[in-house]
A and B are shown apart, each in its own frame.
Chain A
Amino acid sequence: MPVRLLPWSPEYGTAMRMDTAEADEADRGDVDMRVERDTWAPVTPSGVAPLRVRIVDGVRRAEAHALDDDLDGLPAFGLFASYAVGVVSCEPAAARVVDEACQVVRQYLHTGAQADDRVLTAGSARLDFRARTVPNAKSADDLVDAMNRAMLDAEAHLAESLSADESWLTLVDGPLRGLRQPGRRVVGYIKRVQEWYVPAREAALLPTLVPGERTPIFSIAAKGAGADHLRDGRYSWYVRIAHLEGPVHPLGGVLRLECSQAVGIEGARDLADLTAALLPRLASSPVRDPRAPQNLTPTGALEARLTHLLGDRRLIYRLLLSELVRGLQ
């Protein structure tokens, strides 16, 4: 096969990982490719797919790294972290960022046993960096991971409460592991495919999908102790969300989706058909988003809005400096 490009802008990495060893692997015991139908062939959903989707996403930002003395006199790493989670709702002629559901969180994460809260004020605004010890964290990178986890937890929490309204399809960024008791119409969409699950023979179908088509649903058995609703495992399928022009790898516009097996195969089929029809409409264009087409257009707008809500990075850094200087005096 000749050289093909992968779609994302390189600073964002790639939209997929391709473990050759795994790809060569024979049938995996935990994956059942015949759970929906016997033939592994493209499925083209028929019928109307009403646009009524809520997409949950979050952004985070490390404002500053710090080093402090802990109680025992040993150095302790700190991280001034900001993150925001929110939801964008799409209906015909009415896409909007649900401002009342957006929340911004500031934390001072640290590896020590105890630290002070830091409150920055500017005019009538108040940025409250609440101190939080991260257990077992040793390095600054551990703190960044903790920030990511906190954001993902907040996303999951928000998605869970939103999914109680089942008149909406709720799309969650990433796998559904973080949700505890979601509603029945929740789908996780995996922008960056880490694990393909499908054996090489079946995977050959993926490059041939056209926008609007999906693979049949396959099941992934639960492994170990996970979230309660995933006790029975997950259903998953691939959809093509965009046909990319030029020498772009044919897997570039393919996205994996998953839902809980608790919704039943019929419920999963509805969700799979809906996403196959809807997602190509929501896919972003490379001129708009460096992570096109996987980073959906509404998601990109939500991220821009949330980043805006985080505040001006340079201004926060300066406020932080002056606050710390005041502490030294």
Chain B
Amino acid sequence: MTTPGDVPADANYRGLVLGTESEASTPLGFSVWVDPARFLQLDDVVTVQTTLPDGSQVETSGIVDEVRTLQEGVTLTSDVSLARDGILPAQHATSAHVSVTRVEPEVYVPPMPGQPVRLAEGAVRDRALFFDRMVERFSLGLARDGSPILGNLEFLDGSKGAHVNISGISGVATKTSYATFLLYTLFEGAALGGRRANAKALIFNVKGEDLLFLDRPNVMLNDEVKARYASLGLPAGPFGSVGFFAPVRRGDLPIPDTGSRQEGVTGFFWTLREFCAEGFLPFLFTEADAETSQLSNVIEDVTARLAVSAKSSPSGANVWIDDVEVETFDELLDAIDAHLDPDSDLAHKWAGSGNSAAAVGTVRAFMRRMRAASRHVGTLVRGAGAANPERHRIAFEHQVTVVDLHRLHDRAQRFVVGILLRRVMEERESRPGTDRPAPFFVVVDELNKYAPRTGRSPIKEALLDIAERGRSLGVILIGAQQTASEVEPRIVANAAFRVVGRLDPAEAQRAEYRYLTPTAQKRAALLKPGSMIVAQPEIPVPLLLEFPWPGWATRAAEVAPPTTNRDGDTGDRQGPRLLRRFDVGDPED
């Protein structure tokens, strides 16, 4: 047993285990009297040795989750003023509470009061944070002391768990930035090993244009940022392989509808045949629409009829309905309208006939919604008159596929996201099964819009499907939302990695964030852009981490000119820009 006399004064010594009534030592948490010559701060990883009666040693390690300083010798509120005046002797005493993460070997005894507590480094820190147990690991970010914080890849790629869920206030929480950073560490780092080449990602760009320059180096990349990437074992730079897709503009020419970037962006659309044969129609209907069962009956009926028509049509982009060639989306609507109209004289009525016919009101509601959707979606579904559809189809050929939706109407966004999510799953299902498939990451922001807590919709079904079955197929959902409490609980619950950026203080108190310690809940309300709190299955406490500034451009102004410019040149402009990148209130998240 170490007596106070031989407390070592090595560099990592921080204080002594406390054993007061209010701060008794327990196996899962203990307090440390902090030596006045040293200090402990939140998130420090510390360790203490306990000697059992048989002489064996137990290593108890944990993370500082609270630090408090009090004035000893004062009893009354006004005493602080007496102490300040030099009349009442009072001394400062600082104690830090440690949440235990690891007890090795697993003998759950409290650390003995009086034992020296040290800052954990190297192998001890790895043990404290379970990094030693991770066979395959990837970088989640950096601790505030600059050392890497690792995640267990087996809980991300589907081997033991899958999916990431990120919560945080828009603009400040940098949710998309962190999701992109995670992809970068996986695609540009060594974690995935042999599967790296075949690993892919699909990202939807829903706000601004910040994902449209993933393949361009950031002009503000300076040596400090490079050093941070280097400490994670990563190069600092843009993504190596990115394909960009944007919806085509209105009009005959298939020009991508983007803002500042045109070159390298493929305009995408689908053919009428695909629309009918693959059953895209339900994706035109938002959650509220599909709720009445009458309406969903009609949707199902029409979808089935369209699929039959497509099957019997001659090859090409167009479809034939009752031997009439349909060449545009509007013509398709007219054809559907004709087959649903109870007063029409067509022989085949799609909405039933006689007693089983759908009510006139339901049919009208269906058509009203169809026409409303067509205003926004019509341009994305084209007939044979348009350009070669093969060259305007979204292909997952690059490692990262960015689909730009930010100029699309909300309805059209749902349409595109729904179709693509379903396609990702279908493609994976059709592949021969492998033991550990190369992961396919799907990044979806605004989960509260696509998979709200209540109600049903085709897109929510698709997301739930990924959340529940994606793990075995290697489809990994990186979902994000402002408030996890508004998202389908099964989607959040299936995520092995849970991340929060800055949270609204009231939101942080909700049950969805129980995995955060009370201190972490409070801190989530204070997080600065670029800082996240990450919870993962093996580590019993959530860890606060930072991630480096993007090495890729996040707006046109950040794109480094293609000519190699001198280092000094870029250095001058870095400071203010870097700050602006994560400016509070900047809606680029």
Binding site for B on A (CB under 8 A): 51, 88, 90-97, 124, 281-282, 287-288, 297-298, 301-302, 304-305
Chain B, interface SS category: loop
Given contacts A124-B3, A124-B4, contact A297 B87 (CB under 8 A): yes
Q: Mark B1-30, 1 if CB is under 8 A from A, else 0.
A: 001110000000000000000000000000
Q: Please, which residues of chain A bring their CB within 8 A of the CB of B91?
A: 96
In the complex, the answer to whether B89 meets A97 with C-beta atoms within 8 Å is yes
Given contacts A96-B91, A124-B3, contact A301 B73 (CB under 8 A): yes
Q: Is B88 an interface residue (CB 8 A)?
A: yes
CA distance A287 to B73 in the complex (A): 15
In the complex, the answer to whether B4 meets A302 with C-beta atoms within 8 Å is no
In the complex, the answer to whether B86 meets A287 with C-beta atoms within 8 Å is no
Given contacts A95-B83, A124-B3, A124-B4, contact A298 B76 (CB under 8 A): no
Cβ 8 A contact of B75, one of A91, A92, A288, A302: A288
Cβ 8 A contact of B87, one of A124, A282, A305: A282
In the complex, the answer to whether A302 meets B3 with C-beta atoms within 8 Å is no
Given contacts A124-B3, A287-B76, A288-B75, contact A297 B88 (CB under 8 A): yes
Q: Is B90 an interface residue (CB 8 A)?
A: yes
Residue on A nearest B5 in the bound complex, by CB: A124
In the complex, the answer to whether B86 meets A92 with C-beta atoms within 8 Å is yes
22 inter-chain pairs at a CB distance below 8 angstroms, sorted by A residue, are A51-B87, A90-B86, A90-B87, A91-B86, A92-B85, A92-B86, A93-B85, A93-B86, A95-B82, A95-B85, A95-B87, A95-B88, A95-B89, A95-B90, A96-B89, A124-B4, A281-B85, A297-B82, A297-B87, A298-B87, A301-B89, A305-B73
Q: How many residues on the B side are at the interface (Cβ–Cβ under 8 A)? A: 16
Q: Please, which residues of chain A bring their CB within 8 A of the CB of B88?
A: 95, 297-298, 301
CA distance A288 to B82 in the complex (A): 12
Q: Please, which residues of chain A bring their CB within 8 A of the CB of B566?
A: none
| Contacts A95-B86, A97-B73, A288-B76 known; 18 new A-B pairs at CB < 8 A | A51-B86, A51-B87, A90-B86, A91-B86, A92-B86, A93-B84, A93-B85, A95-B87, A95-B90, A96-B89, A124-B4, A124-B5, A297-B82, A297-B88, A298-B87, A301-B88, A301-B89, A305-B89
* A96 nearest CB across to chain B (Å): 5
Q: Please, which residues of chain A bring their CB within 8 A of the CB of B86?
A: 51, 90-95
Q: Mark B82-110, 1 if CB is under 8 A from A, else 0.
A: 11111111110000000000000000000
CA distance A27 to B82 in the complex (A): 42
Residue on A nearest B73 in the bound complex, by CB: A301
* B85 nearest CB across to chain A (Å): 7
CA distance A287 to B85 in the complex (A): 19
In the complex, the answer to whether B89 meets A88 with C-beta atoms within 8 Å is yes
Residue on A nearest B72 in the bound complex, by CB: A305
CA distance A297 to B4 in the complex (A): 32
Going nearest first, the 9 A-B pairs with the smallest beta carbon separation are A95-B89, A95-B86, A97-B89, A96-B89, A92-B86, A124-B3, A90-B86, A301-B89, A91-B86
